[in-house]
Amino acid sequence: MPSVKIPPVLRKHTGDQMSVEIAGSNVGEVLNALVSQYPDTGGQLFSGEGELNRFVNVYLNDEDVRVLDGLETAVTDTDTVMILPAMAGGSTN
């Protein structure tokens, strides 16, 4: 099964796991299966319309899925899906 790397901000919703193995044939299926197994991750990952939130970056083996086939990007059992929330803000000085 593909491995999903869980960022620190979502670990409280996955039992503090840094990585979980989730079945799916593409990135969207993997992320939806993650939400099925850990429902509290859903609001962080997806908008109310079911689209990936714009502040969430998803990588497949270090490649941004937005430059691949998005959520339709195929995955294999040896792939790694990494969820990275976008960072913003900083000092105003």
What Å distances lie between residue 2 and 49, 74, 77, 88, CA to CA?
25, 11, 5, 29
Kindly list the domain boundaries of the chain, sorted by start residue. Answer: 3-85
- Specify the pLDDT at position 76: 97
pLDDT band, residue 89 (cuts 50/70/90) = low
- Specify the pLDDT at position 44: 92
- Residue 74 in this model has a pLDDT that exceeds 90: yes
Q: Model-level pTM?
A: 0.89
Euclidean distance between CA atoms 66 and 69, whole angstroms: 6
How large a percentage of the chain has pLDDT more than 70?
A: 92
Q: What CATH homologous superfamily does 3-85 map to? A: Beta-grasp domain (3.10.20.30)
**28 contacts 53 by C-beta, under 8 angstroms:** no
Euclidean distance between CA atoms 86 and 50, whole angstroms: 18
Instruction: Return the SS3 of 53.
Output: coil
Euclidean distance between CA atoms 92 and 47, whole angstroms: 29
Distance, first Cα to last Cα, the chain? 46
Per-residue pLDDT of 1-58, as tens digits, reads 999 999 999 999 999 999 999 999 999 999 999 999 999 999 999 998 888 898 999 9
- Specify the pLDDT at position 93: 59
